[in-house]
Structure 1
Amino acid sequence: MAKERAWQQEQAAARQAEDRSYQANPAPSYPRNSQAPAYQVPAPAYQVPAPAYQAPAPSYQEPAYQEPAYQAPAPAPAPSYQEPLWGGSSDPQSEPLW
């Protein structure tokens, strides 16, 4: 127990000595943003020149596409020759006599 107490006293003494050291040499306190930064980034020395040639606007303009108007197909012409319904020739003379 005596060793523990001696260790605690030693630690306390070390802390007090450290505190006194900090009080004797306080960290310098600078006001925030009080002056400009010491180093300034220089402006770039080389600037890219603007392009010398500019293409002219095209003079020809293609007309806008227009869908052709729908035109229904013409009706098919009526057949001039009509096949008989019974499937033979329309000439009654050529019909077989049954």
Structure 2
Amino acid sequence: MQAVLDGTVLADASDADVVTIEGNWYFPPDTVTSQALSMSDTPYTCPWKGEAQYFNVQTGEGSHQDAAWSYPEPPASAIGRVGRDFSGYVAFDPKVTVG
């Protein structure tokens, strides 16, 4: 499974390694093209997944603000709810093609 924006592959992982949460695909951190992401200052805290880290995504076409996010340290209750540890996994904005 890949996450692609503007022809740039942002993440590439096997289907078994990707987690779906609330309709979003979360990629393991080691499958994400880290040089395409830069930390954003945008704050967000999910009531059940905890504090999020947003990322700006850079492609050859330009920068896309807050087009990716992660939950670096989700609470144990969130991990239990998902059924898998998704700490640091990265999800992408709907403008990113995942498939």
* TM norm structure 2: 0.16
* Higher share in strand: 2
Q: Which has the larger radius of gyration?
A: 1
* TM norm structure 1: 0.16
